[in-house]
């Protein structure tokens, strides 16, 4: 943690102290909701300078990069200066309404798509080559959410916007990380994302007479899998089989789960946190070691094994392990070291954590990466931080989700608070 600035250490200690107290966290969350929903000038950011300053100097600075291109660029450069390989930049504006057919006017739908496209292209433009850009398909509005819920393809306008963003990312050597949706529109989400992976992650050599290079294995578009869902391993296995059959590289972002607090169908998730940890670590092990295992099985079609069932080896993948769990990080590092010692090829992999959270895990990864830099044969991992950009009002939904996540992970939040407390004590001494 010595790489972090003192204001960052103190701010993290303050916020994790609030998050560790159910009473203080409830009060903070209530205040954030009022800022988002209230029409009372007392609680509106545009009319209350005290609240605006309070939010900016605490939660906004902790989790967000800023609202203007100079501030966003400065924040990203600051993360790289701390040793991160790059950033995951995400536009904060999002839609959190149920995906119902609200009979929005075509003008409203067009405006939602145009705003999403503009925000995504701005994110791609501010990111650096090698970075990632986070996004949500549901950010295109309630019409997009409704079509995913009904497992309908995107409209022509939606598809044109999605292709424009993917092409811009490909041209700037940036990868896209679409965030998973809730279970009621998850099947539609996977269908949309796989459709883009077929196009932009294709391993087929372009039909150019001068093309003699090996097929590319880099990903432009990833897919997100939530390990707390019982269906995660079967979905991943089916998509791995599809990627091998259709010759595209599957981009895999593995998370534990983003909608634990709002998931109404409890029967679709693992019954305990221990079972979720097991699910995450077993999928992680298969992806890192490039082999199916007792938990992640090859997909089958009817009574016949899919093409991947002929071998225990996974098809080519690119992996982002998005986790704040120190035990899972240590497991992945150990498996990678063992692979390197055996002379095996390594799956392209990056670790990712959110800005303002689990810095003790992130900085531990940075320290390990710096140490491995002294050894040419060592495994050098990519370590990323996800930061969002947008006005304070646009970021309120994101900040509310971070508050909910801290509530669901109280023990990890306490670990961060204790780590920051020890670092403050070390600096005082």
**Each residue's pLDDT tens digit, 29-64:** 888 888 888 888 888 888 889 989 988 998 899 999
The single-letter DSSP state of residue 97 is: S
Q: Could you tell me the two tokens for 6?
A: 């003192």
Compute the distance between CA of residue 204 and CA of residue 216 in angstroms, rounded to an integer.
8
Task: Spell out where 14-96 has E strands.
Answer: 64-66, 86-91
The per-residue b/e assignment along 249-269, b for 16 or more CB within 10 angstroms, e otherwise, is bbbbbbbbbbbbeebeeeeeb
Compute the distance between CA of residue 257 and CA of residue 148 in angstroms, rounded to an integer.
19
Report yes or no on 16 lying in a domain: no
Report yes or no on 1 lying in a domain: no
Report yes or no on 137 lying in a domain: yes
Residue 166 sits in a domain of what CATH number?
A: 3.20.20.220
- The DSSP string of 194-213 is HHHHHHHSB-SPPS-TT--S
Compute the distance between CA of residue 87 and CA of residue 9 in angstroms, rounded to an integer.
20
Sign of CA dihedral 357, 360, 364, 367: positive
Please report, in angstroms and rounded to a whole number, the separation of the first and last CA atoms in the chain: 15
Q: What are the 10-residue block averages of pLDDT along the chain, 429 residues in total? A: 90 87 83 85 87 90 93 94 94 62 72 94 95 93 93 96 97 95 91 96 61 60 96 96 94 87 79 93 96 92 44 88 95 93 90 92 88 63 93 86 65 83 94
Instruction: Report how many domains make up the chain.
Output: 1
Compute the distance between CA of residue 211 and CA of residue 209 in angstroms, rounded to an integer.
6
Amino acid 86: pLDDT: 94
Q: Could you tell me the two tokens for 425?
A: 């004590």
Report yes or no on 182 lying in a domain: yes
Cβ(346)–Cβ(379) below 8 Å: yes
Amino acid 102: pLDDT: 47
Report yes or no on 211 lying in a domain: yes
Range of the domain at 351: 65-97+104-298+312-412
The per-residue b/e assignment along 11-37, b for 16 or more CB within 10 angstroms, e otherwise, is bbbebbbbbbeeeebeebbebbeebbe
Q: For the segment 311-352, what is each residue's pLDDT rounded down to a tens digit? A: 588 998 999 999 999 999 999 999 999 999 998 889 999 999
The closest alpha carbon to 78, from 320, 385, 352, belongs to 385
Compute the distance between CA of residue 152 and CA of residue 276 in angstroms, rounded to an integer.
30
Q: Would strands 349-354 and 250-255 be described as parallel, antiparallel, or unpaired?
A: unpaired
Amino acid 104: pLDDT: 54
Amino acid 84: pLDDT: 94
pTM score, two decimals?
Answer: 0.88
H-helix or E-strand containing 121? helix 106-126
Report yes or no on 355 lying in a domain: yes
Report yes or no on 54 lying in a domain: no
Amino acid 301: pLDDT: 62
Q: Three-state SS for 377?
A: coil
Report yes or no on 348 lying in a domain: yes
């Amino acid at each position: 943690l010595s790489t972090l600035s003192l204001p960052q250490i103190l701010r993290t200690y303050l916020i994790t102290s609030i998050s560790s107290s159910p009473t203080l966290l409830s009060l903070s969350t209530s205040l954030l909701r009022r800022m988002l929903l209230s029409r009372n000038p007392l609680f509106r950011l545009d009319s209350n300078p005290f609240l605006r300053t309070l939010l900016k100097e605490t939660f906004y600075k902790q989790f967000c990069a800023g609202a203007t291109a100079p501030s966003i660029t400065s924040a990203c450069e600051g993360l790289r200066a701390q040793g991160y390989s790059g950033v995951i930049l995400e536009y904060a504006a999002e839609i959190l309404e149920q995906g119902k057919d609200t009979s929005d006017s075509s003008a409203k739908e067009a405006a939602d798509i145009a705003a999403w496209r503009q925000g995504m292209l701005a994110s791609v433009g501010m990111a650096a080559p090698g970075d990632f850009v986070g996004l949500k398909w549901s950010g295109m509005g309630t019409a997009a959410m409704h079509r995913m819920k009904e497992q309908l393809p995107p409209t022509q306008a939606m598809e044109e916007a999605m292709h424009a963003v993917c092409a811009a990312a490909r041209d700037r050597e940036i990868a896209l990380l679409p965030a998973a949706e809730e279970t009621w529109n998850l099947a539609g989400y996977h269908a949309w994302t796989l459709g883009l992976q077929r196009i932009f992650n294709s391993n087929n050599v372009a039909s150019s007479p001068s093309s003699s290079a090996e097929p590319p294995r880099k990903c432009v578009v990833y897919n997100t899998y939530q390990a707390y869902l019982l269906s995660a391993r079967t979905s991943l296995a089916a998509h791995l089989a599809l990627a091998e059959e259709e010759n595209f590289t599957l981009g895999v972002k593995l998370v534990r789960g983003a909608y634990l607090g709002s998931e109404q169908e409890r029967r679709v998730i693992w019954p305990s946190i221990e079972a979720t940890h097991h699910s995450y670590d077993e999928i992680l092990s298969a992806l890192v070691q490039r082999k199916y295992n007792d938990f992640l099985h090859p997909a089958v079609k009817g009574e016949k094994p899919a093409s991947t069932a002929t071998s225990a080896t996974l098809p080519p993948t690119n992996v982002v392990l998005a986790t704040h769990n120190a035990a899972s990080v240590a497991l992945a590092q150990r498996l990678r070291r063992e692979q390197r010692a055996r002379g095996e090829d390594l799956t392209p992999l990056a670790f990712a954590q959110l800005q303002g959270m689990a810095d003790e895990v992130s900085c531990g990864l940075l320290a390990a990466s710096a140490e491995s830099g002294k050894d040419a044969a060592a495994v050098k991992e990519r370590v990323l931080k996800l930061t969002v950009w947008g006005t304070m009002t646009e970021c309120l939904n994101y900040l509310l989700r971070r508050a909910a996540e801290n509530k669901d992970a109280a023990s990890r939040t306490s670990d961060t608070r204790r780590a920051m407390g020890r670092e403050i004590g070390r600096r005082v001494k």
